[in-house]
Amino acid sequence: MTLSNIASAPADPILGLTEAFRHDPRPDKVNLGVGVFMNEQGATPVLECIRRAERVLWETERTKNYAPISGIPEFGVEAARLALGPDFHQLAAGRVAVTQTPGGTGALRIGAELLRQFRPGAAVWLPTPTWENHKGVFTAAGCPVKEYPYYDAATRGVEPEALCQALEHVPAGDVVLLHVCCHNPTGADPDAAAWTRMGDIAARVGWLPFFDFAYQGFGDGLAEDRSSLLTMLAKVPEALVSTSLSKNMGLYGERVGALLAITETPAAAQPVLSQIKRIIRTLYSNPPRHGAALACTVLGNPELHDLWLQELEDMRLRIAGNRQRLAAGLANRLPERDFAFIVRQKGMFSFSGLTDAQVNFLREEKGVYIVKGGRINVAGLTQGTLDYVCDAIVAAMRSS
């Protein structure tokens, strides 16, 4: 091998869209690909609570020394409490090994490395469909990947019977990846009864749940969004949880997330943490401090915390409003079709049902960028782009 004969890799299906969008000269182009929140001005702003936390840090931070391998300790406590809720955290803190990670993706990859080393041969079962990068992350770490049925295109929702039947047949010791809320890309989450059933199945059959919790606060609220996680954690002895503050604190590029390893006994947590630290040391040594320090400052300061809750609620409500507007805009243009599913879906995304040919038409003919498979980032719509996008979607639907 020489560097000069390496062939190009394909563009990333999500982040590659943003690159293509940047190079698109058309003035009315719209990027509804990557999952980032936009305000009415089309910007992805720094939250005010973060701006104030920056000021606090600017005044109080005295060193840029390395963070510990597992990250800033206060951040770990805050991240676990946020994901698990104060009650569970108080009850089970000794069983939770927490590690600060570079975003949710970092947490997934470190968890995957842990699985490959300590559950060699165990398959990781992913829902169909799932976030584009899940397969890549687990495969790159050397974990075999399998799929379980999740979404039913006919009902545009989760098919609990097929889902639970499939989970009954996952071999003991394998790993099942579950989106805690705001399923990416479909926006369709199981109901409370299905989560209870999945918890019973996991406990009886003996597979390990690996929860991806990247959209906490964007579904029904911080506490509501963790209820499915708590339902399952009440039933299973062990779990992995990947969390992210990219979306709910708007800290995308600061790469702030955490890996929570929940062990059966407190005695098991420390050895797991020590192995996670060994994995991190050889990957990136120790995590960047700044974003986690900002998150810690917000979560640990009552005034900033309240401000954050308000800003998060504003983002959630804006997305809900965008769902209503998109559904109404499409229904006005195509009254014979039902678009109520757009309002029912949760989180940033709407799974539109557009075919790949229609997705290509949108990009090539209209400059509207959405992810292959038909995922639309509803959080990226503004009043200024709404009509154009609705017209473009209708034209795409009529194109094939």
Active site residues: 131, 212, 247
Is residue 107 a contact residue for ligand LMR (CB under 6 A)? Answer: no
CB of 75 to ligand LMR, least distance (A): 21
Which residue's CB is nearer to ligand LMR, number 131 or number 341? 131
**Cβ at position 22, least distance to ligand LMR in Å:** 16
Contact 133/184 with Cβ under 8 angstroms? no
Taking a C-beta distance cutoff of 8 angstroms, is the pair 241, 211 a contact?
yes
- Residue 390 CB-half CA count within 13 A: 21
Beta carbon nearer to ligand LMR, 201 or 359: 359
CA-wise closest residue to 100 among 310, 332, 299: 299
**Inter-residue contact 139 to 116 (CB < 8 Å):** no
Using the rule CB under 6 A, which residue among 14, 108, 296, 389 binds ligand LMR?
14
- Least spacing, CB of residue 17 vs ligand LMR, in Å: 9
- Give the Cβ contact number of residue 148 at 10 Å: 20
If one asks whether residue 228 binds ligand LMR (CB under 6 A), the answer comes out as no
34 binds ligand LMR (CB under 6 A): yes
Rule CB under 6 A: choose which of 37, 131, 138, 339 binds ligand LMR: 131
Applying CB under 6 A, does 129 fall inside the site for ligand LMR? Answer: no
Which residues have C-beta within 8 Å of that of residue 266, sequence separation ≥ 6? 94, 95
122 sits near ligand LMR (criterion: CB under 6 A): no
Strand partners, 149: 128
Could you tell me where the DSSP H helices lie in 191-348? 192-205, 222-233, 266-283, 290-300, 302-333, 340-344
Q: Are 385 and 392 in contact (CB under 8 A)?
A: no
Question: Is residue 130 part of the contact set for ligand LMR (CB under 6 A)?
Answer: no
Identify which of residues 308 and 369 has a Cβ nearer to ligand LMR in the complex: 369
Give the residue with the Cβ less far from ligand LMR, 197 or 255.
255
The reply to whether 37 sits near ligand LMR by the rule CB under 6 A is no
Q: Binders of ligand LMR among 156-185, rule CB under 6 A?
A: 184
Selection from 389, 368, 251 nearest residue 326 by Cα: 389
Q: How far is the CB of 351 from ligand LMR (least distance, A)?
A: 12
Closer of 180 and 194 to ligand LMR (Cβ)? 180
Nearest residue (CB) to ligand LMR, 166 versus 378: 378
- Secondary structure percentages of the chain, helix, strand, coil, to 5: 50, 15, 35
Give the nearer residue to ligand LMR in terms of CB position, either 199 or 347: 347
Which one among 31, 133, 186, 248 touches ligand LMR, defined by CB under 6 A? 133
Compute the least distance from the CB of residue 106 to ligand LMR, in Å. Answer: 11
Closest-by-Cβ residue to ligand LMR is 35
129 and 150 Cβ atoms separated by less than 8 Å: yes
Residue 287, phi then psi, degrees to nearest 5: -85, 160
216 near ligand LMR, judged by CB under 6 A: no
Q: How many residues lie near ligand LMR (CB under 6 A)?
A: 6
The residues, any chain, with a CB within 8 Å of residue 235's CB and separated by 6 or more, are 199, 200, 202, 203
Instruction: Convert residues 183-212 into a mask of x (bound to ligand LMR by CB under 6 A) and - (unbound).
Output: -x----------------------------
Q: How far is CA 143 from the centre of its chain?
A: 20
- The minimum distance between CB 24 and ligand LMR, in angstroms, equals 18
What six digits make up the tokens of 45?
Answer: 């702003």
Task: Say how far apart CA 165 and CA 169 lie, in whole Å.
Answer: 7
Report the distance separating Cα 16 and Cα 22, nearest Å: 10
**Interface with ligand LMR by CB under 6 A: which residues?**
14, 34-35, 131, 133, 184
